[in-house]
Chain A
Amino acid sequence: MALFKWIGMGDLRKPATNEPWSSGSEKYFGLENALYFCKPFRECVVNFPNGPNDANGTGENKANEETSTSNGLSEDTLFGALKDLFWKISSQKKRTGVMAPNGFISKLKKENELFRSTMHQDAHEFLNYILNAVAENSKSSVNGASINESEESGISADGSSSGSSENTSNTFSSKTTWVHQLFEGTLTNETKCLTCETITSRDDPFLDLSIDIEQNSSVTSCLRQFSASEMLVHQNKFFCDVCCGLQEAEKSMKIKKLPNVLALHLKRFKYQEKLQKYIKLSYRVVFPFELRLFNTCDDIKDPDRLYELYAICVHIGSGPYHGHYVTLVKSMGQWLLFDDENVETVDESEIHKYFGDLPATGSGYVLFYQACDLDLSSLGLPYSVWANNVASSSSSDFEISAEGAAAAESHPIDIQLTPNTTNGVNDNGNNNTTANNEELKREHRQTPVREPSFSERWILRKNNSDKRKSHVDQESKDNDENTHEKTPSHEKEKSSWFGSSKSNNKSKEKDKDKDKDEKKTLSSLESLFEDSSSKKEKKEEKKKKNKENKKMDKLTGTNGFKSVTL
């Protein structure tokens, strides 16, 4: 298809800096950024295969020792390279910087000859390729992995439980990997015979949706067009098996199962007969920040699922064969523009420039929407990760938690902590319990304070449309409004926590508390909205959070955590 140029992008933790993070050595990184910032994707990548592999080696578990490198299984696959890259990014001490994805790209070139040339490549093709490759690799690595800490963690998101990595039958049967669980949806092709009115349907799974576009349209209307019904009449009648003859029919494609992360690919190219080549369609296609899909089947269980835009892969260029990609990613509520090695903040009000009609800024090409009610626990991720992202869930429980229902909150957490500890590292037992108590307390207070969920922010935004000037201020303000507890002791705890966490940094042991994970993540998130004075602390927290996420040895009975209600 059309070939677009890839772009390297940077990764940015802190909103306020302009430090370049990742070098745009060459290509693809823009899209990778979008994937990186897709938290569930990142977590899964980083946490694959069997749980977080110790960043620095041995854990309490003997099993952990068996894991060879920091990346767990030393895979020489594309997925391995991707993991490496993500891990490197997240384990950076600094929040900002530049990272050259050389390793990954060389691996990519080796694997796929399409990307081997120096020609510009297409973002969507890359996305498709990488998702499929990662899925393949995950599947095969799970299948081929030797006995591992899969015992405890049972994290493998594709459902194969501990010890079953050698039991290939188990894993072969489940074709879905975590990649599929994140990105896969199902389209159903329904054909209705107009004479006997029987509906025959055929299901097609998809990892991303490619839709045709029209000038001056919106994504919603393009989606509607995508699912519009086609009449099979005249010469191309439909052979109905019920009528046993050719009859008129109405065919339509509807979405049967909504994916957790929707990658919308706008087909911005068209083949022109006269020119005998493809041209780029720079149509203005507006896309919303929140999206609801209307072209769903009647009997779908959650038709009003709300999606939030979190990344846009933009193509700049007049033709389909060359160009430049930049990526817009929303992190912590702040939109960032990654342009090779440059990262800068972007105001939300500027997003409209990427609708496509302004050639200078480029046109939105692949849009990433994440479901607001994404249930990470179902992906089999470690609790910490999941809890981390629980903040992102669109529950109105924010109110409940904000109500300081510490007691209410703590209970579920309590319960889960226990199995955690039992399953968890023995050595850590003590640490766990003490940490538990400590952190429990902190948990109480910190739980209410968390990143507002997507939908909440939407509500907030609606209410406070004027205050859009600075995101950070805005959100911290809002957060403050909603936070019932802004304890002075907060800081103290944090510092103490940092203290411990600093030590955790070095020691492999303490950090590996799931519980700590949650709190750290929560606190780190919340701290984002604190004054910038605690920037440093935040940095640490962030670092910690990511480290924590990788350390999966405690995150055994994650299954137990799936039932946490908030």
Chain B
Amino acid sequence: MRKTAKRKVSYVITHNKDDHGHLLGINSLALDTTTFGSSDKPEGILYSAGRDGVINSWDLHLPLRGRTIPKYNYNHLNDIDEKKRNVKDDDNIPLHLFNEDKNWEIDEDASSSQPTPKSTFRQSFQSHTDWVNDIILCHNKEALISCSSDRTMKLWFPHKTSTPCTIGYHTDYIKALAYASGPGWVASGGFDRKIALWDIKECRLAPSTSSSSGNIFGGLSERDFQPIVTIAETSPKSSVYALACNPSGSVLVSGSPEKVIKVWDPKSGKRITKLSGHTDNIRAILISDDGELILSGSSDTTIKLWSLSAQRCINTFTTHSDSIWSLYSDHPRLKVFYAGAKDGLVTRTDYSEYEEIDDGECVAICKENAGIVKLVALDNKYIWTATCSSSIKRWQDIPLRKDRIKLSTSSPTSSTSQNAFQIPSSSLIKLTSTAVTSSYPSVVSSPQLKTATTDSEVATIYSVAIGDGHSDIDNEDPEPVREIADHIIEGQHGLIKYVILNNRRNILTLDHNGEVTLWDIIKCVKVKVFGKCNIDEIAQEINTPESIPNWCSVDTRIGALTVHLDESKCFDAEMYADEAGLTGDVDIREDQRINLGKWVLRYLFANFTQAEIQTYEAIQQQRSLMQQQRQQPGSEHRSLFSTQINVNIPPQAATSTTCTSPTASSHNLANSNANPPMPQSPTTPLAAFTTGPFTAPATTSSQQPDYFSGPHHLNSSATSPTTPPEY
């Protein structure tokens, strides 16, 4: 339940509109390899969600082909039926079909013959007003659900022209999402210590509605959204940091600073059990398709594999020396998984071929400059990493051990560096098993050993990777195999700090790159760029000794300058018109004062009011037409004049027109660049701020007496700026 929100208007001053990268760090990635691109096959789309509240999608242009051989050996599963991938809500569908992306794989021949193309921008949407914390793709990758620190959860159909709409709320930051494709629910967990399950089965775009943000959910109004099940915790440490569920939706697990993994039954919302063992916050959880195995990564630098049936930890991977922040796996039994840590190291652990986990291999693939917040991998060919920097890096992955063997044995000349792959021992990390079965001798009788070819390189791999070679491997600081990224999707530099100057109009900001800029929040322009220097020093230098009430609040949470106007305070500040920087032939009275809040609001809604005026005028015209027609006999169009046209024009509209007419002329201004974003269309970025049901306050949707047309405004109507200030 939302309590009545305070009326507040916020606007964002954007810059770099033409560039598409994220402004701040990236919190989540999602990969879509099923949506068809321009050709008759998918080319891969990467969705990225950042701290700037924006969800971007990128065309990857990867060569893909249909998969014929199942990627992993499913002992118990049938062959994949490609045609069945659109089936959704039936619980009888075998497990493997839920992972629809397994149907397309990287075309190896194509990828090896030419360098992988660069990713290009596809779409972007400013969905949230604060950090986006997690995104997931559902409904056969057609829908994207995002959760944010602005406490909302939104659903977006990227391939349609609709805007995201809110489908769920929490009372604090929402941190993690989990999607069960079988039953069709999404679980969200956040800092309000609650996990809520939302039914999104009915999420189909009603064909009748088009681009407006109206009822997307065919019949259901947004306010009806209640979670199916809510799980609530009480202890202050039980904020949810990680969530996972299996595709069939039988098990839901959560991780929190309480250091235990809680296992829930999604149907009843009751806790099944909890798994203790970690000694710090649990930041990432994975669950196997059958719901039996759980892999958890924690800030205590370990990754633990748990068996849910046995309710104990089977193995602890101490492959990292810093907090584990993200895990990724597409193996149904989690036998191959990627881990990203706070120090930026990405490793892949693979024990899919062997009985003993110890016999597996862990290789350090790459190292980022900052902690890996999220990583996704595709087909063991590419890895995309997201950190607190605004760029997404793509890395070339390393083939799995079994694939390396295949490569080396299949190729006649192993001298081609592309096929023969040697992992230096400095990149391999020892897998020590702390499980009970450590009494097993560490000698591995791998069948492949016997087939050692004359290729010394292959032999080297084995002797290093298995058994006794372990002791030689230095676990401290493994060197990643990949030193540089394959491709970088560049981001921009967002604002990270601000200083409000005394005139409450100019703001100094510092961006991620260290650059200091001066802004004018009324004109909404960049006034001056100072370059790289100390923001506080500059502030001291240019600050003027004035005292103006605080009429707005500012923040740079999303990497851009956002100004918030609060109903109670925004009209407190005034300034003399002659100091306001107006130019041109403005006829200003001697001591005329301008109310800053009003000024800003008026121009913010200039287009809107203009549109309203036009609509009203159109109606007036029609009305007069009607009257004319009525005087003529036989008019049946009287009905036209009924209240079919639902335009809220209260009687005071008459006065308001006179007052708002000056704004008509200011309409030109509104169109000049670097303006506060005008609600041109609901789908432009930042439109969410000014349109939509949950953003702008109700006052602006109608022409009822507002602060513009109120008595105090009327008094100064003659003095309101009639000519636009120069930009």
Residues of A bordering B, CB below 8 Å: 194, 196-197, 231, 233-234, 243-245, 248, 250
Evaluate contact between B191 and A234: CB separation under 8 angstroms.
Answer: yes
Contacts known (A194-B281, A196-B388, A197-B323); A245 close to B342, Cβ less than 8 A: no
Contact between chains at A194 and B342 (CB < 8 Å): no
Please give, as numbers and ranges, the residues of chain B lying within 8 Å of A234 by CB-CB distance: 172, 191-192
Cβ-neighbour of A233 out of B236, B281, B371, B556 (below 8 A) = B236
Residues of B within 8 A of A244 (CB): 24, 496-497, 556-557
- Contacting residues, chain B, for A197 (C-beta < 8 A): 299, 323, 342, 371
Instruction: Contact check, A194 vs B257: say whether CB atoms are below 8 A apart.
Output: yes
Residue pairs across A and B with Cβ atoms less than 8 A apart, 14 shown, are A194-B239, A194-B257, A194-B281, A196-B371, A197-B323, A197-B342, A231-B237, A233-B191, A233-B236, A244-B24, A244-B556, A245-B51, A248-B239, A248-B257
A248 near B299 with CB under 8 A, answer no
Interface status of B169 (Cβ within 8 A of chain A): no
Taking CB atoms, residues of chain A closer than 8 Å to B236 are: 231, 233
Residues A248 and B556 in contact, CB atoms below 8 Å apart:
no
| B557 adjacent to A245 (CB under 8 Å) | yes
B131 at the A interface (CB under 8 A): yes
Smallest Cβ distance from B455 to chain A, in angstroms? 44
**A197-B371, A248-B257 given. 16 additional CB < 8 A pairs?**
A194-B239, A194-B241, A196-B388, A197-B299, A197-B323, A197-B342, A231-B236, A233-B191, A233-B236, A233-B239, A234-B192, A243-B388, A244-B496, A244-B556, A245-B131, A245-B149
Q: How far is the CA of A406 from the CA of B51 in the complex (A)?
A: 73
B236's nearest neighbour on chain A, judged by CB, is A231
Q: Which of B257, B299, B323 has the most CB of A within 10 A?
A: B257
Q: Which chain A residues lie closer than 8 Å to B237 at the CB level?
A: 231
A248-B191 CB under 8 A given contacts A197-B323, A231-B257, A233-B236: yes
Give the Cβ gap from B149 to chain A, nearest Cβ, in Å.
8
Residues of B within 8 A of A231 (CB): 236-237, 257
- Bound CA span A248–B299, Å: 15
Q: A233: nearest residue on chain B (CB-CB)?
A: B236
B149 partner residues in chain A, CB cutoff 8 A: 245
Q: In the complex, what residues of B have CB within 8 A of residue A233's CB? A: 191, 236, 239
Cβ contacts under 8 Å, B388 to chain A: 196, 243
Chain B residues in 8 Å Cβ range of A245:
51, 131, 149, 557
Chain B residue contacts of A194, Cβ below 8 A: 239, 241, 257, 281
Task: Report the separation of the CA atoms of residues A346 and B257 in the bound assembly, to the nearest whole angstrom.
Answer: 49
**Which chain A residue lies CB-closest to B257?**
A194
Name A229's closest neighbour in chain B (CB-CB).
B237
Interface residues of B in 139-183 (CB under 8 A from A): 149, 172
- In angstroms, Cα B605 to Cα A320, docked, is 64
B131 contacts across to A, CB distance below 8 A: 245
Q: Number of contact residues on B: which range applies?
A: 20 to 34
Task: Compute how far the CA of A245 lies from the CA of B51 in the bound complex, rounded to whole angstroms.
Answer: 10
Chain B's nearest CB lies how many Å from the CB of A9? Answer: 46
Q: Chain B contact residues: over half helix, strand or loop, or mixed? A: loop
Contacts from B to A (Cβ < 8 Å): 24, 51, 131, 149, 172, 191-192, 236-237, 239, 241, 257, 281, 299, 323, 342, 371, 388, 496-497, 556-557
Residue from B236, B388, B496 having most chain A Cβ neighbours under 10 A = B236
Q: Which residue of B lies closest to A231 (CB)?
A: B236
Complexed CA–CA distance, A243 and B388 (Å): 8
Q: Which residues of A contact B51 (CB under 8 A)?
A: 245
**In the complex, how many angstroms separate the beta carbon of A253 from the nearest chain B beta carbon?**
17
Who on chain A is nearest to B555 by CB?
A245
Shortest CB-to-CB span from A486 to chain B, Å, is: 54
The chain A residue sitting closest to B371, CB to CB, is: A196
Query: With A196-B371, A197-B342, A231-B236 in contact, do A250 and B172 touch (Cβ < 8 Å)?
Result: no
Beta-carbon nearest neighbor of B498 in chain A: A244
* Cα separation A92 to B231 with both chains bound (whole Å): 74
Note all chain A residues with C-beta closer than 8 A to B371.
Answer: 196-197
Least CB distance, B102 to chain A, in whole angstroms: 33
Which chain A residues lie closer than 8 Å to B496 at the CB level?
244
How far is A250 from B239 in the complex, measured between Cα atoms in Å? Answer: 12
Instruction: Report how far A196 CA is from B51 CA in the complex, Å.
Output: 13
State how many angstroms separate the Cβ of B50 from the closest Cβ of chain A: 13
Contacts of B192 on A, CB cut-off 8 Å?
234
- The smallest beta-carbon distance between A237 and chain B, in angstroms, is 8
- Of all A-B residue pairs in the complex, the 7 with the closest CB atoms, nearest first, are A231-B236, A244-B496, A245-B557, A233-B236, A231-B237, A197-B323, A248-B239
CA distance A150 to B388 in the complex (A): 59
CA distance A234 to B149 in the complex (A): 12
Report A-chain residues with C-beta under 8 Å of the C-beta of B281. Answer: 194
With contacts A233-B239, A234-B191, A245-B557 taken as known, whether A250 is within 8 angstroms of B299 at the C-beta atoms is no
Q: How far is the CB of B189 from chain A (nearest CB, A)?
A: 13
Q: What CA separation (Å) do A250 and B172 show in the bound complex?
A: 17
**Bound complex: CA A234 to CA B193 (Å):** 10
B557 CB contacts on chain A under 8 angstroms: 244-245
Q: How far apart are A197's CB and chain B's nearest CB, in angstroms?
A: 6
Chain A nearest CB from B459 CB (Å) reads: 42
Determine how close the nearest CB of chain A comes to the CB of B587; give it in whole angstroms: 45
The chain A residue sitting closest to B131, CB to CB, is A245
A243–B371 alpha-carbon span in the complex (Å) = 12
- Do B257 and A250 touch (CB < 8 A)? yes
**A447 CA to B209 CA, complexed, in Å:** 99
Q: How far is the CA of A243 from the CA of B131 in the complex (A)?
A: 11
CA distance A79 to B241 in the complex (A): 56
Residues of B close to A196: CB separation below 8 A? 371, 388
Contact residues in A for B257 (Cβ distance below 8 Å)? 194, 231, 248, 250
Q: A245 to B371, alpha carbons, bound, how many Å? A: 17
Q: How far is the CB of B608 from chain A (nearest CB, A)?
A: 31
Closest residue of chain B to A243 (Cβ to Cβ) is B388
CB distance from A252 to the nearest CB of B (A): 13
The residue on B at minimum CB distance from A235 is B172
Q: How far is the CB of A23 from chain B (nearest CB, A)?
A: 54
CB distance from A196 to the nearest CB of B (A): 7
Closest to B51 in A: A245
Task: Kindly provide the distance from the CB of A172 to the nearest chain B CB, expressed in whole angstroms.
Answer: 29
Q: Bound complex: CA of A194 vs CA of B133, how far in Å?
A: 14
Cα–Cα, bound, A250→B237 (Å):
9
Closest to B558 in A: A245
Which residue of the partner chain B has the closest CB to A242?
B388
B373–chain A nearest beta-carbon distance, Å: 9
Complexed CA–CA distance, A245 and B236 (Å): 20
Nearest CB in chain A to that of B25: its residue: A243
Q: In the assembled complex, how far is the CB of residue B284 from the closest CB belonging to chain A, in whole angstroms? A: 13
CA distance A197 to B280 in the complex (A): 11
User: Can you name the residue of chain B whose Cβ is closest to the Cβ of A245?
Assistant: B557
- Cβ of B105 to closest chain A Cβ, rounded Å: 35
For the complex, what is the distance from the CA of A197 to the CA of B556, rounded to whole Å?
A: 21
Nearest to B325 among chain A residues (CB) is: A197
Closest residue of A by beta carbon distance from B388: A196
Name the distance in Å between A443's Cβ and chain B's nearest Cβ. Answer: 51
Q: Which residue of A is nearest B171, CB measured?
A: A234
CA distance A234 to B191 in the complex (A): 7
The answer for the CA separation of A22 and B241 in the assembled complex, in Å, is 64
> Which chain A residue lies CB-closest to B323?
A197
- Give the docked Cα–Cα distance between A244 and B510 (Å): 11
Which of A197, A234, A244, A245 counts the most B-chain CB atoms under 10 A from its CB?
A244
Q: Could you tell me the distance between the alpha carbons of A122 and B300 in the complex, rounded to whole angstroms? A: 45
CB distance from A236 to the nearest CB of B (A): 11
Give A233 to B256 CA distance when docked, in angstroms. Answer: 13
Q: How far is the CB of A238 from chain B (nearest CB, A)?
A: 12
Chain B CB within 10 Å — which of A196, A231, A245 has the most? A245
B293: shortest Cβ distance to chain A, in Å? 27
**Alpha-carbon gap, A243 to B559, bound state (A):** 11
Q: Cα distance A10–B629 when bound, in Å? A: 115
Q: Which residues of A contact B342 (CB under 8 A)?
A: 197
CB-CB nearest in chain A for B133? A195
Q: For A250, list chain B residues within 8 Å (CB).
A: 257
A194 to B371, CA, bound (A): 13
CB distance from A275 to the nearest CB of B (A): 30
